[in-house]
């Protein structure tokens, strides 16, 4: 096994100088997301690590896929009865991070979370491959299941149930919107003097500021 203490990389791929920062978090995120999406070296550019906390403050983090990035914030889809959904019921705030290591960049987003409108979930669900649609019905996400065979049986059952028909989204499945009040862009630089630019929303006003790395 390699020794993590010996792994060291010099970051030199880019800069986020004072004059280079976009006017809004959305413009900056769209620019970086566009570059990530255009580079085959970035696998799953829309993968985000999403952190939630339970009612008693226990944090939890997992990967989900961002499916919309717009002026409202970042949307992802999941099961409304999953562990993350229970966290969000109790504490409707989240923090998430995009990491694009080939570009030596990360973007942290945090803010209040709400469910998206049902018609938005339905429109997105209709674009999913049929097997993912069926999987959403078959999986009681985050619950203990008896065996792999039990899951496969549940999938076969929903396949039969929806044979020859369109698959609607399960009632307990849908989107969440993270409405940002903090968005921080990090670009690796040499000497560990990285660039960190934070967009901060307070009292209805966005402020852009540089943080020490």
Q: Residue 14 or 102: which CB sits closer to ligand FMN? A: 102
Residues 49 and 43: their CA atoms lie apart, in Å, by 14
Instruction: Please state the closest distance from residue 50 (CB atom) to ligand FMN, in A.
Output: 8
The string of DSSP codes covering 121-156 is HHHHHHTS-HHHHHHHHH--TTS--S-HHHHHHHHH
Q: Residue 25 or 76: which CB sits closer to ligand FMN? A: 76
Instruction: Please state the closest distance from residue 108 (CB atom) to ligand FMN, in A.
Output: 18
**Rg of the chain on CA atoms, in Å:** 20
Known catalytic membership, residue 160: no
Q: Which has the closest alpha carbon to 197: 17, 11, 10?
A: 17
Opening angle at CA 155, ends 151 and 161, nearest 5: 145
Residues 6+ apart with CB under 8 A from 110: 93, 94, 95, 96, 178, 180, 181, 182
Instruction: Please state the closest distance from residue 76 (CB atom) to ligand FMN, in A.
Output: 5
Instruction: Please state the closest distance from residue 133 (CB atom) to ligand FMN, in A.
Output: 14
Residues 120 and 22: their CA atoms lie apart, in Å, by 29
Residues 76 and 69: their CA atoms lie apart, in Å, by 9
Task: Summarize as ranges the residues that interact with ligand FMN (CB under 6 A).
Answer: 44, 47, 60, 62-65, 76-78, 82-84, 141-142
Q: Residue 28 or 78: which CB sits closer to ligand FMN? A: 78
Q: Residue 13 or 62: which CB sits closer to ligand FMN? A: 62
Exactly one of 9, 148, 160, 192 is catalytic; which is it? 192
Residues 107 and 187: their CA atoms lie apart, in Å, by 9
Q: Residue 27 or 63: which CB sits closer to ligand FMN? A: 63
Instruction: Please state the closest distance from residue 25 (CB atom) to ligand FMN, in A.
Output: 22
Contact 213, 193 (CB under 8 A): yes
Q: Which residues are catalytic?
A: 192
């Amino acid at each position: 096994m390699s020794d993590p203490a010996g792994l060291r990389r010099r970051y030199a791929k880019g800069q986020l100088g004072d004059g280079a920062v976009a006017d809004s978090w959305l413009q900056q995120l769209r620019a970086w997301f566009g570059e990530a999406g255009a580079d085959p070296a970035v696998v799953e550019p829309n993968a985000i690590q999403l952190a939630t906390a339970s009612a008693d403050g226990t944090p939890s983090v997992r990967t989900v896929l961002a499916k919309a990035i717009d002026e409202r914030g970042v949307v992802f889809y999941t099961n409304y009865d999953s562990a993350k959904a229970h966290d969000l019921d109790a504490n409707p705030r989240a923090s998430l991070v995009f990491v694009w290591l080939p570009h030596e960049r990360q973007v942290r987003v945090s803010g209040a979370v709400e469910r998206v409108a049902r018609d938005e979930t339905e429109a997105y669900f209709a674009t999913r491959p049929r097997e993912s649609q069926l999987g959403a019905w078959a999986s009681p996400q985050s619950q203990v299941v008896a065996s792999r065979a039990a899951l496969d049986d549940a999938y076969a059952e929903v396949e039969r149930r929806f044979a020859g028909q369109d698959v609607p989204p399960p009632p307990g499945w849908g989107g969440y919107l993270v409405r940002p009040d903090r968005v921080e862009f990090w670009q690796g630089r040499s000497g560990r003097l990285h660039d960190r630019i934070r967009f901060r929303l307070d009292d209805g006003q966005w402020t852009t500021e540089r943080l020490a790395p």
